[in-house]
Amino acid sequence: MSQSRRPAALPRSLLGELGRDWRTGGMDRREFLARATALGVSAAALGAPGPGRAQEAPGSGLRIQMRVLPQGDPRLWDFTEKYNACAGLLDTLVHADPDGRLSGRLLESWETAEDAASCTLHLRPDVTWSNGDAFTAEDVLANFEGWCDSRLAGNSMASRLASLVDPGTGGLRAGAVSIVDPLTVRLELGFPDITLLPGLSDYPAVVMHRSAIGEDPLERQIGTGAYRIAEYSPGARAVLERDPARSPWRPGRVDRIEFVDLGPDPAAVAAAAEAGQIDVTYDTIGAYVSVLDGIGWTRSEIDTSATIVLRASQTHEMGGFRPYGDLRVRQALQLAVDNQVLLELGYDGRGTVAENHHVSPLHPAYARIAPPRQDVAAAQRLMDEAGLLEYEHELVSIDDDWRRFTTDVMAAQLRDAGFKVKRVILPASEYNAGWKDFAFSSTNWNARELGVQVLDLAYRSGAAWNETGFADPEFDALLDRAKGLPGVEERREVMAGLQQKLRDQAVIVQPYWRRLMRHYRPGVTGAERTHKDMIDLHELARAG
């Protein structure tokens, strides 16, 4: 086993295959970058530019509008905001850029086998924890042990790393992760899985000190970042301060970062921007895009595979029966609505129409299947056949702007189809606590690099984030096959079956893909909107 800190070269045969596929049009740039970097080619070797550095004002600080949510064990994090509030303290092993490229954070480099069944991780040699300990392979092993604990309810990392989990014990499989030396870790997957490395870039995958697995990061604040959390008040604000005692591998560029929770009303965000009370918005939506454009702030926007899902839980019991366990009921809900209308009225048209299967044209192996259609007469017939034409559907959403409006539009279309609908709008604290457990509700989903990632998280039988209750062994088997196929065209054939099955089973109404927007004060750098909404606090700066 080589101990070199230099990135290993790809096997010449595989590099040639990737190049041919790209040149002949069989693979787009996103797929090329995602596959090449997942296999271990460095971003620098692919000619990817590094982030620019503006001259920051000494002693500068930044205020970012964002929800400040209660913290807890990172393995149980289910909102990106929890990560962002700790992103100055904790790091991930790898980072995913919007173009699909993976770059190292706590990893210096890695090599993945051509069959995606093994991987060697090389740690950065210059990283220390804030308590003075060196960051070593012992920390990485301890985190994999924690991540792979599928017995911990709500641990979505176990779904991401299923190829390392022992299905018999529910924990890390013996021999799946081994220490080669203090800066090298070897992974032996139980089955090929192209999603493993992208999954390590997701927000619950922050690396904790080996003594802190399972802790709330706020408890002892042992991290690898340049900041410490000076104040944390859910619903109000979180303050991060650069630690003067730290000489970290990634020095912060501003002295203070404050997250300001202004609640769900975008009007309050716009008013705070105009009043000079914030410097960056987390999410600019609807009519307020033009308002913030008008005050001269910089707009950053990106088309993404972020979305909203309106779903009925197939396992939820109400009055002794499961109304949404009936396929006819779910089909009726799909047929009653027009996704274009949901986009236009729910999200101000700022995105693209989706097709009720949660795989985006931005995902490399997206398969084009026939689009859904609205058919109100068929919807009424199916609901009548199910005996639920007079049933009142209770449709739940969070009390904010675009998610509430989109859910309102669906409720209106269902009523137009002759169905009875009661709208329930919950405050953020109540909605966030129970988002997976409602019978019929809307949920926002972040973008991910590969379609198989989100299908694995959201629709695999028994997955921690499976909110629909959908469970289909045939779907799971197809998903396993797709995750083991590195070739995009071969994977696309399987994706067509997965997408069609989700549509045929009417698992979700998934109306549009979001164009994400953010505004920031002129002179701010490093605050650009990204597809995953994970803010790199170490890159934030304010030119002076």
Residue 517, phi then psi, degrees to nearest 5 = -135, 150
Read off the pLDDT band of 2 (50, 70, 90): very low
- Domains of the chain are 12-50+90-219 (3.90.76.10), 225-297+521-542 (3.40.190.10), 303-515 (3.10.105.10)
User: Beta-carbon neighbour count of residue 30 at 10 Å?
Assistant: 16
Percent share of the chain, pLDDT over 70:
89
Q: What pLDDT, on a 0 to 100 scale, did the predictor assign at position 368?
A: 97
Read off the pLDDT band of 11 (50, 70, 90): very low
DSSP states of 444-471 = EE---SSHHHHHHHHTSTT-TT--S---
Separation of alpha carbons 26 and 213, rounded Å:
43
Q: What pLDDT, on a 0 to 100 scale, did the predictor assign at position 543?
A: 81
Look at 213 and 39; give whichever has higher pLDDT: 213
Read off the pLDDT band of 116 (50, 70, 90): confident
**Mutual orientation of helices 339-346 and 402-416 as an angle, nearest 10°?**
140
Q: What pLDDT, on a 0 to 100 scale, did the predictor assign at position 52?
A: 37
Q: What pLDDT, on a 0 to 100 scale, did the predictor assign at position 72?
A: 97
Separation of alpha carbons 366 and 360, rounded Å:
6
Q: What pLDDT, on a 0 to 100 scale, did the predictor assign at position 249?
A: 85
pLDDT tens by residue, 469-517:
999 999 999 999 999 999 999 999 999 999 999 999 999 999 999 999 9
Residue 444 CB partners (closer than 8 Å, separation 6+): 306, 307, 308, 309, 403
Task: Decide: residue 44, CB within 10 A, 0-12 exposed, 13-18 middle, 19+ buried.
Answer: exposed
Query: CA dihedral in degrees (316, 323, 325, 167; nearest 10)?
Result: 10
Q: What pLDDT, on a 0 to 100 scale, did the predictor assign at position 101?
A: 87
Q: Does the structure show a pLDDT above 90 at 85? A: yes
Q: Does the structure show a pLDDT above 50 at 22? A: no
Q: Does the structure show a pLDDT above 70 at 40? A: no
Closest of 482, 502, 484 to residue 492, by C-alpha = 482
Closest of 513, 143, 126, 202 to residue 358, by C-alpha = 513
Q: What angle do CA 464, 116, 28 make, to 5 degrees?
A: 90
The continuous run of DSSP H or E covering 157 comes out as helix 157-160
Look at 52 and 224; give whichever has higher pLDDT: 224
> Which whole number is the average pLDDT over 178-199?
97
Q: What pLDDT, on a 0 to 100 scale, did the predictor assign at position 97?
A: 85
Q: Does the structure show a pLDDT above 60 at 34? A: no
Separation of alpha carbons 137 and 150, rounded Å:
22
pLDDT tens by residue, 244-291:
888 678 889 999 999 999 998 999 999 999 999 999 999 999 889 999
Q: What pLDDT, on a 0 to 100 scale, did the predictor assign at position 56?
A: 38
> Cβ(210)–Cβ(139) under 8 Å?
yes
Least trusted range by pLDDT, from 18-27, 314-323, 535-544:
18-27
Separation of alpha carbons 199 and 159, rounded Å:
9
Q: Does the structure show a pLDDT above 70 at 20? A: no
| Token pair for 138 | 């012992």
Percent share of the chain, pLDDT over 90:
83
Look at 15 and 141; give whichever has higher pLDDT: 141
Read off the pLDDT band of 353 (50, 70, 90): very high
Read off the pLDDT band of 7 (50, 70, 90): very low
Q: Does the structure show a pLDDT above 70 at 312? A: yes
Q: What is the mean pLDDT of the chain?
A: 90
Amino acid sitting at position 523:
G
Residue 211 CB partners (closer than 8 Å, separation 6+): 222
Q: Is 110 helix (H, G, I), strand (E, B) or coil?
A: strand
Q: Does the structure show a pLDDT above 70 at 47? A: no
Read off the pLDDT band of 57 (50, 70, 90): very low
Q: What pLDDT, on a 0 to 100 scale, did the predictor assign at position 100?
A: 73
DSSP states of 378-427 = HHHHHHHHTT-TTPEEEEEEESSSHHHHHHHHHHHHHHHTT-EEEEEEE-
Would the pTM of this model clear 0.75, i.e. be above it? yes
